[in-house]
Amino acid sequence: MKIALVQINPVIGDFDRNCEKIRLWSEKARTRGCDLVIFPELVVSGYPPQDLLERNSFLAAHDEAVASLLAHLPEIDTMFGCLERRDGRRGKPLHNSSAVARQGRVIFRARKQLLPAYDVFDESRYFEPGSPSDFYQVKGLTFGVTVCEDVWSEEVNEYDVDPVADIFSKAKAQGVTIDGIINISASPFQRDKEKIRKGIFEKICRSNNVPFFYCNQVGGQDSLLFDGRSLVMDATGTVVAQAKGFCEDMIVVDTDTWQGDMNEAVRISEQAAVYQGLVMGVSDYCRKCGFSSVVLGLSGGIDSALTAAVAVDALGPENVLGVALPSPYSSADSLEDAGMLAANLGCRFEVIPIAELFDTFRRNMARLFAGREEDLTEQNLQARIRGNLLMALSNKFGHLLLTTGNKSEMAVGYCTLYGDMSGGLAVISDVPKQLVYELAEYVNRTREIIPARTIAKAPTAELKPGQKDQDDLPPYEVLDRILELYLEQGKGITEIVELGFAEPLVRDILRRIRLNEYKRKQAPMGLKVTTKAFGYGRRYPNVQNFQG
């Protein structure tokens, strides 16, 4: 038989749109001769719906949409993720379920058993764990069906049940032969996660001598990026069908020959994956929030250059406005590089000097600042003037303002509240500085888009004469490694020092991270590409003094 896996890009709560996509793609699968089409986790509502699940009107609209969907699906078994209300006074009111529709009714359900409550996940807040389901049968084949986290039991090591192992134990007890494991997912992207996923799937295949079908959501949802990359593995763990990453796609596999659509290379580079994810994230956030254009400041530096390149690839050059806002300390090279970048990208470019405004601010504050030397206050005034002007352009023309700070800066507070942190979306706020350089090289892989001088010159905020980032920060390769150890791997001072870093430096960096939590709480939402991003998945108090 032929089986289709379809990764679509849902909009949370847009039930009519999501269900129409399910119907149209199901029809495409039917025309290709498929007997089964599989869609991702919670595809009817979109994932993650968060506290919308606490609204009765949301649940009623969901149920109405499912009823309508069942009445309009073509003659093909359709597996899709949906909410399921549960009876009983105790426990949560919902299951996160996989349903199979056949001839206008649901003939099978599998309920998610493992409900993650780490990092960006909060499913135990809303859902009750399911019990092991029966087996799904179609055209003489028998499948075990799982929902996302259900196949991650061994990897996460936080659960006392293993739904995959339970499937095979139950099959053995009943004398049933399992012909494959199906997993519908809404699994967010992060760099290197594809390698981990495939390792899990390969182990399931080889340990149990069964094929594996993985259908994952695609699209940007707030800070989360879903990469799709749905796939089918045969019983040896070999990928026999692979969907594209970061776009809607369908793959079909024939279970008689175990041949299928290979729409993308099995492996792509980390830089390509992160860049494609950022482009999708900007595109989807703008589109789903009703924006069609963006504005950003172009300093001539590498961070704003990378952000501009992402924006142009996401929205087209005609929908991107780059603005240089030179101050008395901005170099001629920086202004020239910003203009060259805009020309290479083909986007609109404007220059708004801020020297006069800066002088006005200083004159107006002179009486109150009398007797004090100029310091960080005056540096930050420049950033805040720029932020105000960019926000004015955003307000006047309806552009979404993109901020351009990277993760390394955000971590240690090397950013200005109500200045360069002003905006609606922080595109690279989860991209460490070293990765920024790698992505810039990726942008220039076929021709020079980001000027070579922008990449080669020492990073600088240009807020005072001769300023360089490394005047206040350690080399970025050192800073990024310490940040990775602390933020992503959870290591403390002693463990980091034991890896060869100077203790005073480590203590200073961790002090900066702790003291600047209040800034990050006021920062615009960013796009998540690492294992631990600032924002929704990292919950630290502003007021605390733990220094370990």
Residue with tokens 């070293």: 434
Is the domain defined by 2-263 classed in CATH 1.10.580.10? no
Tally of CB atoms within 10 A around 303 = 23
Would you state the pLDDT for residue 278?
98
- Three-class SS state of 79: strand
Residues 38, 253 contacting (CB under 8 angstroms): no
Is the bond into 129 cis (omega within 30 degrees of 0)? no
State which amino acid sits at residue 314.
Answer: A
Q: What CA–CA distance (Å, rounded) separates 209 from 358?
A: 70
Domain definitions of the chain by residue range = 2-263, 274-464+516-521
* Tens digit of each residue's pLDDT (9 = 90 or more) over 529-547: 999 999 888 989 999 989 8
Residue with tokens 């426990």: 91
Residues 62, 54 contacting (CB under 8 angstroms): no
CA 59 to chain centroid, in Å, comes to: 26
Beta strands in 134-279, from DSSP E residues, in sequence order: 136-138, 141-147, 180-185, 212-216, 218-221, 224-227, 231-233, 239-242, 249-254, 259-260
Across the strands, what pairs with 136?
Answer: 143
CA 477 to chain centroid, in Å, comes to: 24
Element (H, E) at 45: none
Among candidate residues 220, 279, 240, 486, the one with its CA nearest the CA of residue 402 = 279
**Tokens, residue 386:** 């720029």
Among candidate residues 86, 90, 94, the one with its CA nearest the CA of residue 58 = 94
Q: What CA–CA distance (Å, rounded) separates 414 from 206?
A: 48
Which residues, given as ranges, of the chain have pLDDT below 70? none
Would you state the pLDDT for residue 53?
98
Cα 117–430–243 angle (5° rounding)? 75
Q: What CA–CA distance (Å, rounded) separates 23 from 80?
A: 11
Residues 122, 163 contacting (CB under 8 angstroms): no
Would you state the pLDDT for residue 170?
96
Would you state the pLDDT for residue 87?
85
Burial of 117 (0-12, 13-18, 19+ CB in 10 A): exposed
For the whole model, what pTM was predicted?
Answer: 0.96
Among candidate residues 279, 387, 274, 248, the one with its CA nearest the CA of residue 323 = 387
Q: What CA–CA distance (Å, rounded) separates 164 from 169?
A: 9
**Tokens, residue 247:** 């776009």
Q: What CA–CA distance (Å, rounded) separates 406 from 388?
A: 20
Would you state the pLDDT for residue 468?
82
Catalytic site positions: 41, 112, 148
- Which CATH topology does 274-464+516-521 take? Rossmann fold (3.40.50)
Residues 8, 248 contacting (CB under 8 angstroms): yes
- Three-class SS state of 145: strand
Report DSSP state, residue 486. I
Phi-psi region of 334 (alpha: psi -120 to 50; beta: other; left: phi over 0): alpha
Would you state the pLDDT for residue 530?
96
Burial of 367 (0-12, 13-18, 19+ CB in 10 A): exposed
